[in-house]
Structure 1
């Protein structure tokens, strides 16, 4: 069996999250041969964050803003423009069917040649005159090009031949995966850790680089790509049931849908021994990037530090992904005079720190089902997490609460819950024992691996 995993800007460069999930999946399915297609807007210069498993044959890297694998087969530009015009005018309920037919027609052909033709220019100017004439044409043109080029780049990022294409998003990665499915008659599995089109919608609405008039269009494009991915896939998985509600909103087929939770090597983390220490240590595990909202965590810690003199905040993870954001964190620490109490470890082995951590703080504004939360629970570390993704459901599991849940950005509540765990040892021990039990019962690596192996076999059998 050959499986090609398609990712956007994560594995093998970015550690944690989806990348850790991919590494665990490949390592623990040694009987399957894997390839990885990595899509990104730029060429990464950093080293790989993981040691390549023996059954990972090759990593293919494509740039979304380049020509990719341009073919000598050219598209019929007149027909393509005609179909795209229909796509604009079609009712919402029929757009996914037409878009999938367009993708099948252009798969493996040179799309870049089409945007250099007079037919494409006429189409663009016609759209401008019908819908955006009150806007400046130059800004309109380059906005449209900015929309189109990465979509074309993804479609022309042709993956290698495989039995199964496993996309980690319903965005650009799914377009590349669909092309593989169409060209090589493979199967397609979509696994969403977070709901891609909702995450992009939030980003677009907050963006200062996209004019307001174009935001609804861009959001609808991402929704359409997601809907086509849901329609054409052979199986659609996510980490928890709440995500399925968002998938069903875009007409996902319930008969194809599966919930496969993340899993961790519980035995490895449960063997972590508590290290004697006099300080009260709050740990954050992850990249220092805006989505993790480290700034809010620092604000919460400043309140904790005023009441608990021996409190320390360990921020365990790489700081070089967004150097501007890291610098903002450093400046806030300076402003709050916390330099001697906040420790940035940089990229590190979390096993070296879990024995020192008394509370895991997860202040993210967006998550799926965080592996670090499960790892901490396996180590017996209570958690304080934000109400995003599946964090709350895990922490408040009906079989045993393992931590507190607060709303994103609410640094006052974060500090209050951290201090409650610092003061109430009985509660700390209850959460600790509950976490160990829940993760052992529900979130083991073996269950996750068995589920994906069974799914791979099932989609091939049904073919």
Structure 2
């Protein structure tokens, strides 16, 4: 099979859960050919891959969002718009379930230039109606530039050349989902969706906190990302998620329950299960295996550790992972300095986690949003219990899901709750014997439910089923 994986802001440019998952998938399915159709933010990153590309990757097609800004209007006269095309464009602008097939015919088949369209009389007429109805007290120029920046990347996705494949498997909704819809439209091949986190919900959380979005347009931006999710939910032949609560959310957002199933993450259990426990040395070493990004909420972790340090002098925090956001990384380093924790918090960077784990007593994850974090699975497989925020699948990983009788493998705290996170860490520090007991429970849970070979078998079956039905 020739499988097109569609990724946004992850593999092969960055590390992290989705990137690690993708790399493992490709390497485990050596009998298949893979095409990578990948979206990055900046064209200057072209070809700058964090991973060594496996040999069974036969094509990499890179799409960069900032290239959309470089599209020059052409001199071709826009085709006379049909009523259904005007309606689809109006619905797109209003984020109200547009007819994507009509839009694809316009920008994929007829080759309408997105930049020319956004400067056309037709666009201005549609925009004027929207302003009159929804933004009568907002300057027209503000609305114009907001809507243009909202629509341009989507129209750019709709005009992309489609690589050949037997199926198009997108690993999120958003812009990647629109590429998948485009691939399915152009080739008639099946489209699959796997969500590690609920993309539209994550974007909503970001927009609510964002300073770059004018308050008048926050609701519109949130509707925009839900609209993109709906496009792929409606058109995917199969939709998978990592755990039950995520699948229920997909269904609440409009996914057909008959298309939905769960395929949990899996890890290479044998790499971690025999890592020896750390010898007693008078220090309790805590690790966060995490990329430095705002959604991982490193600042709350640092504040919580500062609270813990005020109660115990025998603790040390290791932050293991690369930097996704340079400015945020600087803020975290400055916060450590301001709190006087330079001797107690180690930014170790990208490391061999299996080796570093030998130095660690337990791990922590303070994310605002998660799916089913591989770092928690790896920690549990290595018999290191965890403190996590109660996001994504973390409660199931630490306390067990339906039918799981193993017991508790860690402590939960509310996201962004410094005192709660500090209290959970303090509880974990109290007893080495309790940590070892929880670690063994975690190891058994991963062995039973989260092995890599089981995950690969389920995706193999998914691919075969999709091809056979096409």
TM-score above 0.5, yes or no: yes
1:424 aligns with 2:424: no
Q: 2:319 aligns to what?
A: 315
Give the whole-Å Cα distance in 1 for the aligned partners of 2:417 and 2:130. 44
Deviation string, structure 1 residues 134-164 (Cα, Å, up to 9, x no partner): 1111111101111111111222233301111
Measured in 1, the distance between the counterparts of 2:139 and 2:242 equals: 44
- Where do 1:20-419 residues align within 5 Å? 20-45=20-45, 47-67=48-68, 76=79, 78-79=81-82, 81-84=85-88, 87=91, 96=97, 98-108=99-109, 109-112=111-114, 113-276=116-279, 278=281, 279-319=283-323, 321-397=324-400, 398-399=404-405, 400-419=407-426
Q: Which runs of 5+ in 2 are unaligned?
A: none
Describe the superposition over 1:47-105 as per-residue Cα deviations: whole angstroms up to 9, x where unpaired. 42211111011221112233499999997451365223663799x9xx54734443355
Counterpart in the other structure of 2:461: 454
- Please identify, of 187-196 and 56-65, the stretch whose mean Cα deviation from structure 2 is larger: 56-65
Residue aligned with 2:358, SS: coil
SS in 2 for 1:429: helix
Note closer, same or farther for the CA distance 1:17–1:72 as it changes in structure 2 (3 Å cut): farther
Find the aligned partners of 2:56 and 2:159 in 1 and give their Cα distance. 26
Once structures 1 and 2 are overlaid, which stretch shifts more, 382-391 or 325-334? 325-334
* Structure 1 vs Structure 2 CA RMSD: 2.4
Shift of 1:44: 4.8
Distance 1:188 1:132 in 2: 37
Contact residue 36 and residue 59 of structure 2 kept, 8 A: yes
After alignment, is 152-161 or 165-174 more displaced? Answer: 152-161
CA distance in 2, matches of 1:60, 1:183: 16
Secondary structure of 2:99's counterpart equals helix
Q: Distance in 2 between matches of 1:194 and 1:157?
A: 26
d(CA) in 2 for partners of 1:356, 1:167: 37
List runs of 5+ in structure 1 lacking aligned partners: none
CA distance in 2, matches of 1:136, 1:97: 26
Give, in whole Å, the separation in 2 of the partners of 1:229 and 1:134: 34
Paired residues of 1:39 and 1:154 also in contact (CA < 8 A) = no
Rounded to whole Å, the distance in 2 between the matches of 1:76 and 1:355 is: 65
Residues 205 and 215 of structure 1 are in contact (CA less than 8 Å); yes or no, is this contact kept in structure 2? yes
- Residues 231-286 of structure 1 show CA distances to partners (whole Å, capped at 9, x for unaligned) of 11110000001012221123211111110000000011112223435121000011
SS at match of 2:357: coil
Q: 1:330 to 1:88 in 2, by over 3 A?
A: closer
| C-alpha separation in 2, matches of 1:356 and 1:104 | 58
TM-fit CA distance, 1:304: 2.3
Task: Give the distance between the partners of 2:90 and 2:48, measured in 1 at CA.
Answer: 45
Counterpart-to-counterpart distance in 2, 1:342 and 1:228 = 44
Cα distance in 2, alignment partners of residues 428 and 211 from structure 1: 47
Aligned to 1:10: 10
**1:218: how far off?**
2.0
| Deviation (angstroms), 1:456 | 0.3
Q: 1: CA distance between counterparts of 2:429 and 2:308?
A: 10
Deviates more, 1:275-284 or 1:68-77: 68-77
Alpha-carbon distance change, 351 to 105 in structure 1, aligned in 2, over 3 angstroms: same
- The offset of 1:14, in angstroms, is 1.1
TM-score by length of structure 2 reads 0.92
Alpha-carbon spacing, 1:132–1:311, altered in 2? closer, same or farther (3 Å): same
Runs of 4+ in 1 over 6 A off after TM superposition: 68-75
SS of structure 2 residue aligned to 1:271: coil
TM-score, structure 1 as length reference: 0.93
CA contact (8 A) 1:69 1:156 kept: no
Rounded to whole Å, the distance in 2 between the matches of 1:86 and 1:13 is 35
| CA shift in 2, pair 1:206/1:374, >3 Å | same
